[in-house]
Structure 1
Amino acid sequence: MQLSVGPPDGTGRRELTLHSRQEGASDGADWVQHAFGAVSAQEEVAEVSLTAWPPPGAEPVDVDGFYERVAAAGYEYGPSFRGLRAAWRAGDEIFGEVELPKGLHQDADRFGIHPALLDAALHPLLLHAADRPLRLPFAWADVALFAVGARVVRVRVSPVGEDAVSVVLADAAGSPVASVGSLVLRAVDPRRLRTVDDPTRDALFRVEWTGLPTGSDEPAQPATTAEVGSSDGQLTDAPGFPDLAALVASVDAGAEMPDAVIVPVGRGHRDGDITGGVRAVTVQALGLVQEWLASDLFAASRLVVVTRGAVPVGGDSDGERGEGAVDLVSAPVWGLVRAAQSEHPGRLLLLDLDGDPRSLAALPRAVAAAMAAEEPQMALRGGELFVPRMVRASEAGGPLLPPAGIEAWRLDTTGPGTLENLELLPAPEALAPLGEGQVRVSVRAAGVNFRDVVVGLRMVPGQETLGSEGAGVVTEVGPGVAGVAVGDRVMGLIPQGAFGPVTVVDHRLLTRVPDGWSFEQAAAVPAVFLTAYVGLADLGGLSAGESVLVHAATGGVGMAAVQLARHWGAEVFATASEGKWDTLRAMGFDADHIASSRTLDFERKFHAATGGRGVDVVLNSLANEFADASLRLLPRGGRFLEMGKTDIREPHEVAERHPSVTYQAYDLARVEPDRVAAILSELGVLFERGVLESLPVRSWDVRRAPEALR
């Protein structure tokens, strides 16, 4: 696929085109044009006359049951997009009043105009949808944005030709928000919108990172390379310069201009204020690219912009590609540089690293391979080279697709033993009438943990439901509900249907989302903090001055347990794989309180660190000989709290071998709802006060569930 942007004309207007051709096609194969358009600076605000409201002389149009009627015609909108509140008609013009759902108001400032609000602004066109074929937006022209952050808009839709309209949006005072000079609509066959059963007609594509096909021979190294701007240590052995000006001075003095100039971007800005870091790094990248493209001296060379963790290539934090969370500071650099690449092909190369030393060692080879293959974007994971490719969404390994025409669905497995059996299946129970104490929730994010992996593989008898926690917006309350209301942003345990768009929950399992939190942050909190709290407090009775061993302390429950134990004044010992010890150090652990979870050395080390006393409480998630070693760390007796599912033991047998040790295997699903409500209330106060903090999160689309769980 190729996006081409032309040079500016006399008015600053640039034409653009979008072409593609079949992967693997010969150099002489034709490119197919899919779209064309133009971009320019908007200098004048369009005249908007929507101050008188409702529109004088317009006849009101009944919108009761509107979304149910249009769904029957093929326009299916979820709760986030049902924004039409009122409508009027005056001749050929249609007017509407549109509002973002209350649960999305806090997101309005993140966009120029919120996508759900813009979509709903077109819904007055559907007032007579039942009389016409299904039509969808096809071509936009003369689009202008005059104000940002709108939550409520007035809309005027006027015909401007056959199958075309103009659209004007104003705020509640009639001041201009946006305008569309022309929007062309085209009729669509609904059967062509879902092509799961006919892959030959599948027009949906996704990006997949694949190994770079470099052939059997290693690519030759570029004749010369240089590195610029690496004040905190160079990435390569190439000659280093503090900035491009120093490189130019070297060339002017007689040095050869290198074929590739490597510049790391974003280093030193990975911690602290995200917003400030993004601004600093993007400003750095913009200045660098502008300086590079402005000089004819660099015309025959390639600028290699190196980021770290800026793009999700695939796999999980322990996977073969060593993926962790996307670095929000570096990620915008890719969007900025990609835009410049479309205007200046062959001048810029994006290369993303992970934290693996093998990737750093392979960087020169990666640059050489990219230049030889004329690849504009690459990523190194575990020393291997990957490039982005478009693949059909229907191909094996593609995203899951919700069932057609179904409003409520959930992620489930159709058979044991493999994550390939995961599917999105209908969930009519999520739309059933509410019972006593129940609420209906529009789920925005759901938490994933290892329990979902073993349940997805059907390894735990009696636990058949995927998903246990999440966050969203209350859309309906049943009788006897107290503490939550329609429109509230909530988080908590969701025993049924967490991995779906809508679910029904006992209100006692929910609490309000703390101010300033995203739904993703909120979804990652309930199960892990509740599990840690029930284990350490309710069952373990952990108190100030005692000591506790937390296994897998960099996992969700582990990180929650560490925060709670410290809040209660306990001394915490922690295990994790050695690759995650930096995380433990960042959590405040010193060397005496850290050991590996992959070997049995933690027993010897913590016995020595405690002078043979061991600990008072073990929060366990390990099995077999690791559990035995953990039990031996309770020589004075104590409490052994088993969260795992694969090595459950009999309490009396444990007591016989380890006198005075209380063994308890527990599961959050068996905690009474009233107790869950009490703990959630206490946790909510601690989060609001800043005593406890939310955990690091990585987000996945639910349609990528097999990849996420794997």
Structure 2
Amino acid sequence: RIPFAWNNITLHATHPTTLRVHLTPTTPDTVRISATDETGQPVATIGELVLRPIGAEPQAADEGILLGVDWTPVRADEAGAPDVPVAAVIGTPGPELAAGLGGETVRHPDLAALFAAEGPLPQTVFLPVPAGRETRGALAYVLEAAQQWLAEGRSAGSRLVVVTTGAVATHRGDLLDDLAGAAVWGLVRATQTENPDAFVLLDLAPAEPADAAALAVAVSVTAEETQLALRQGTVYANRLARGAAADGVLTPPADTGAWRLGSTGKGTLENIALVPSPDATGPLAAGQVRVAVRAVGANFRDVLIALGSYPGEAPMGSEGAGVVLETGPGVTSLAVGDRVMGLFSDGAGPVAVTDHRTLGHVPAGWTFTEAAATPIVFLTAYYGLTDLAGLRAGERLLVHSAAGGVGMAATQIARHLGAEVYGTASPGKWDTLRALGFDDTHLANSRTLDFEQQFTTATQGHGFDVVLDSLAKEFVDATLRLQPHGGRFLEMGKADVRDPERVAQEHPGVAYRAFDLMEAGPERIQEMLGELRDLFEAGALHPLPVRSWDIRYARDAFRFLGQARHVGKVALSLPRELDPEGTVLITGATGTLGTLLAHHLVTT
């Protein structure tokens, strides 16, 4: 129960510094309050304080609803003049900010130069946090600027707008690229509590030029708002909102301790739910292992399963990493407490049971998230290139969708084997591949058929010895023509599987094979996990970049994955359950919240 309404308040005195307060229940939902000083003289009386219970769900439309901070679009009628007021910018603005600055914006190398200029200070002064600074340097830069700003007497009527890029998430699933900027937000928010009218925080979206009109709206509301963000031409302000923070968050079933990621229907990602998993609690059969799962890798196949578009029945989240809880009869390669990664046949949940032959030890120094994002992509690429294609040093390999998980893994493995690697990807991901060593000769667009002529020229008509394909229709036809002298064509996708005999007739010398990782069998999977671990620990291979969501935000993660916005891998982290036999330390536990938490830990 929390205070809801105060009625019949009378103040008798204002001088006491110590109060003795008496609370007298008058009904089950109300109390009367009297406050006196140390001598017993009345200070204040409150005839009635109404208390209301707060639960997980509101009792009525206007009762029992807790407020949370959420990003709210700024309406057009809240903004002032549409034009950007005369402003100044300190240092060199990034491309996102520069795109929205008006012609009247004056630039200064630093705050000292701004203060040295004649006349009043501009109403708005932008302070971009330079890109590429490490966190400590960015904090020192902003702290010094804030101190200079407060020390300048003329700054009282102006605001210093600290600009970051990709430092905060206005929507779940936003890409956050600026760790230093996120730390700057923490620093400036603390500074704003001491100087509420001096500073404004403004975050821009990475690689999204600021819309000039939206930037003008943001500037016009800085007198009322202290935390703003620009996304796709819309200005968002960080405000109190009713219950928005919990919208779309998945909740584990209350009637069972064993659950997994599943779906209540087909056709939409909104049906994704956390469902009971009775298979995780039964006795272990010979060769089985029970694992406390810490993280799960997500693949495009999981999106198809969630949408009901995947052929056959399969669980969502078939790879992960965690700690062995129990081993079944005949298991000697793993022991309780081992950190493991691999394939899970029952899907994604806090506890999973699987065949011990599909698990391997996590390389030293890895996080569970890195380990969970590794098995399927590296096993698929390794099995395809070594077991099926027999890729050799000096051969040419074409990897379609080279910025995807399997594509990035295949690139590493092929280069380790000594092959020359060519890749395709959408242009938005080319910078990622260039950072991985692809030059313009070895890189082409996966969204057009131009790669056929480009790679024909690059290879002087010889084409490729091995192709790792995930495209369809005319893109497959164009790729097959890039093997004029024959070769091995490995098809990973299931959207356009060809007949190997027909391919051999139309493209002499091309050995076509569509494959699936599970064809390798559990014994070979166990061997490959060991071989890959040796390569990782030797530094020959490296874990892929990965973006992680809490599993309770799986809908957002799958939506992000389905839109192909990711580079590398997507993973889901699982909340770690407390050990009932363990110990919990609660600091500051003598208050109401602490005692409630202690009671919950013991009883629940």
- Name the CA shift for 1:702/1:692 in 2 (closer, same or farther; >3 Å): same
Tell me which residue corresponds to 1:273. Answer: none
Alpha-carbon deviation of 1:703? 1.4
How far apart, CA to CA, are the structure 2 residues paired with 1:449 and 1:314?
22
How far apart, CA to CA, are the structure 2 residues paired with 1:494 and 1:205?
40
Alpha-carbon deviation of 1:486? 2.0
Alpha-carbon deviation of 1:395? 8.9
Alpha-carbon deviation of 1:629? 1.1
1:616 has 2:465 as partner? yes
Tell me which residue corresponds to 1:482. Answer: 332
How far apart, CA to CA, are the structure 2 residues paired with 1:196 and 1:396?
13
Tell me which residue corresponds to 2:544. Answer: 695
Alpha-carbon deviation of 1:286? 2.5
Match of 2:181 among 330, 334, 347: 330
Equivalent residues of 1:222, 1:260 under 8 A apart: no
Alpha-carbon deviation of 1:337? 1.7
Alpha-carbon deviation of 1:610? 0.5
Alpha-carbon deviation of 1:508? 2.0
- The amino acid across from 1:335 in the alignment is G
Could you list the per-position Cα deviations for residues 158-190 of structure 1 after superposition, in whole angstroms to 9, with x for gaps in the alignment? xxxxxxxxxxxxxxxxxxxxxxxxxxxxxxx9x
Alpha-carbon deviation of 1:678? 0.9
Could you list the per-position Cα deviations for residues 222-267 of structure 1 after superposition, in whole angstroms to 9, with x for gaps in the alignment? 43211113288883452222221221111xxx23301111111141
Equivalent residues of 2:370, 2:546 under 8 A apart: yes
Equivalent residues of 1:438, 1:504 under 8 A apart: yes
Match of 2:489 among 621, 626, 640: 640
Tell me which residue corresponds to 1:449. Answer: 299
Tell me which residue corresponds to 2:419. Answer: 570
Matches within 5 A, 1:177-576: 194-195=56-57, 208-215=70-77, 219-230=81-92, 235=98, 236=101, 238-250=105-117, 254-269=118-133, 277-314=134-171, 323-359=174-210, 364-365=215-216, 367-371=218-222, 374-389=224-239, 391=241, 397-498=247-348, 500-576=349-425
Tell me which residue corresponds to 1:133. Answer: none
Deviates more, 1:288-297 or 1:623-632: 288-297
- Name the CA shift for 1:704/1:482 in 2 (closer, same or farther; >3 Å): same
- The amino acid across from 2:147 in the alignment is Q
- The amino acid across from 1:242 in the alignment is P
Alpha-carbon deviation of 1:349? 1.6
Deviates more, 1:660-669 or 1:676-685: 660-669
- Name the CA shift for 1:650/1:690 in 2 (closer, same or farther; >3 Å): same
Count of equivalent residues: 506
Tell me which residue corresponds to 2:517. Answer: 668
- The amino acid across from 1:462 in the alignment is G
How far apart, CA to CA, are the structure 1 residues paired with 2:110 and 2:363?
44
Percent identity over the alignment?
Answer: 52
- The amino acid across from 1:534 in the alignment is Y
- Name the CA shift for 1:506/1:346 in 2 (closer, same or farther; >3 Å): farther
- Name the CA shift for 1:660/1:226 in 2 (closer, same or farther; >3 Å): same
CA RMSD of aligned residues (A): 2.9
User: Which protein, 1 or 2, shows the higher relative CO under an 8 Å CA cutoff with sep ≥ 6?
Assistant: 2
Structure 2 gaps, min length 5: 5-51, 560-604
TM-score, normalised with respect to structure 1: 0.66
- Name the CA shift for 1:396/1:490 in 2 (closer, same or farther; >3 Å): closer
Equivalent residues of 1:576, 1:597 under 8 A apart: yes
Equivalent residues of 2:85, 2:216 under 8 A apart: no
Equivalent residues of 1:230, 1:263 under 8 A apart: no
Could you list the per-position Cα deviations for residues 95-128 of structure 1 after superposition, in whole angstroms to 9, with x for gaps in the alignment? xxxxxxxxxxxxxxxxxxxxxxxxxxxxxxxxxx
Equivalent residues of 2:289, 2:356 under 8 A apart: yes
Structure 1 gaps, min length 5: 1-18, 22-188, 270-276, 317-322
- The amino acid across from 1:468 in the alignment is S
1:681 has 2:530 as partner? yes
- Name the CA shift for 1:552/1:440 in 2 (closer, same or farther; >3 Å): same
- The amino acid across from 1:341 in the alignment is Q
- The amino acid across from 1:410 in the alignment is R
Could you list the per-position Cα deviations for residues 387-444 of structure 1 after superposition, in whole angstroms to 9, with x for gaps in the alignment? 3455555899521111114221111112221111111111121111222222222111
How far apart, CA to CA, are the structure 2 residues paired with 1:450 and 1:20?
48
- Name the CA shift for 1:363/1:566 in 2 (closer, same or farther; >3 Å): farther
TM-score, normalised with respect to structure 2: 0.78
Equivalent residues of 2:69, 2:245 under 8 A apart: no
- The amino acid across from 2:120 in the alignment is E
Match of 1:601 among 426, 445, 450: 450
Alpha-carbon deviation of 1:193? 5.7
- The amino acid across from 1:352 in the alignment is D
How far apart, CA to CA, are the structure 1 residues paired with 2:521 and 2:138?
49
Equivalent residues of 2:93, 2:128 under 8 A apart: no
